[in-house]
Amino acid sequence: MDQQHEQARVDGHARTPVATIADEHRRNGARLDSDLARQAAAGRTVRDDAAVVFDLDDVTVSYAGFPAIRNVSMQVRERMITALIGPSGCGKTTLLRTLNRMNDLIPSASVEGTVRYKGADLYARHVDPVEVRRRIGMVFQKANPFPKSIRDNILFGPKATGMTFDADDLVEKSLRGAALWDEVKDKLDSSALGLSGGQQQRLCIARAIAVEPDTILMDEPCSALDPIATGAIENLMRELREHYTIIIVTHNMQQAARASDMTAFVTTEVSHDEDGRDRRSGRLIEYDRTEVIFGDPRDTRTEDYVSGRFG
């Protein structure tokens, strides 16, 4: 165990850069032998030199003064799929919504620490959350198309952000990008609410890429979908990775193992305040390559979770 790993174990969160994590011995000798570990080990191409998109330093997000997730430090790299896994209520979604300032919509929410996006502090005074969200798109847990036509769903964002575009081209390009074009090309003017759940979610992804963001945040995008629709979205994510940085929150460990390059395990920790009451807040336990998290995790809590003994 080298010094950096020892350090990560001591302070409970991984700050080790991706490059130094790529220890050959662990890649060859995964301790855990499970379907998840094998899926996670299959066909990875993590670029160790990828640029850092998000740099979180000691980030704590609180609601009405109570931390929902605290002291998170991690770096998310460009054009990779980074999965956030962990039990319900551990703060994964809160952490995700911190990255495009969606938590601003909740008046009691506050963020401490620094969140840097390509080097710029997202929570600096002069930063406009509208500009942040324009570059960092979001796909939500429940497909939420506008109750309008498919075409209007795609074009709302580009119109709102004042892009110059050719409507027909953009609609086709976005829908193709979300692997939905062939299914809907003949009914672009019919209501988006007539689509199936999986199609609606892909429409939401198409809508998100229509504004040409560089990062897409996905909050459990497949939780309401059947396995076939889920498979379609996972394939789509792998294609999108060529052009976009993707961060996905998921309850589904198979999904994290199958689809993601990097995985962060978050869980709830109970601490006691001055009055002796329980305070529950999320902690980032371990953050590493997906095959390491599922094959050879350092922390026993991660191991318990990925091997199904917890949560």
Partner 1 sequence: MAVSTPERISRDAVQALQAPPGRNRSERAFKMVLLVTTGIAVVMLVVLLLDILVDGVAFVTGQRLLQYSSRFPDQFGFRSGITGTLSLMVLVALLSFPIGVGAATYFEEFAPQNWFTRLAEANISNLAGVPSVVYGLLGAGVFVYFFSLGRSLIVGAITLSLLILPVIIVASRESLRAVPRTLREAGLGLGATPLQVTWRQVLPQALPGILTGTILALSRAIGETAPILVVGALFSRRADNVPWDINDAFSALPIQIYNLVSRPQQEFQAQVAPAGIIILLVLLLLMNSIAIILRNRSSRSN
Q: Which stretch binds partner 1 (CB under 8 A): 130-138, 248-256, 284-292, 297-305?
A: 130-138
Pick 42 or 193: Cβ nearer partner 1: 193
Residue 145: how many CB atoms within 10 A of its CB? Answer: 21
Query: Least CB distance from residue 161 to partner 1, whole Å?
Result: 5
Tell me: does residue 100 bind partner 1 (CB under 8 A). yes
Binding mask 209-238 for partner 1 (x = CB under 8 A): -xx-x-------------------------
Q: Which stretch binds partner 1 (CB under 8 A): 38-46, 59-67, 200-208, 267-275?
A: 200-208
Tell me: does residue 301 bind partner 1 (CB under 8 A). no
Q: Which stretch binds partner 1 (CB under 8 A): 80-88, 133-141, 182-190, 274-282?
A: 133-141
Query: Least CB distance from residue 233 to partner 1, whole Å?
Result: 17
Query: Least CB distance from residue 273 to partner 1, whole Å?
Result: 26
Tell me: does residue 199 bind partner 1 (CB under 8 A). no
Please check whether residue 279 is in contact with residue 68, taking contact to mean a CB–CB distance below 8 angstroms: no
Binding mask 137-166 for partner 1 (x = CB under 8 A): xxxx-x-xxxxx-------xx--xx-----
Query: Least CB distance from residue 152 to partner 1, whole Å?
Result: 9
Tell me: does residue 240 bind partner 1 (CB under 8 A). no
- Cα separation, 73 vs 254, in Å, equals 25
- Contact footprint for partner 1 (CB under 8 A): 100, 102, 105, 107, 130-131, 133-135, 137-140, 142, 144-148, 156-157, 160-161, 204, 207-208, 210-211, 213
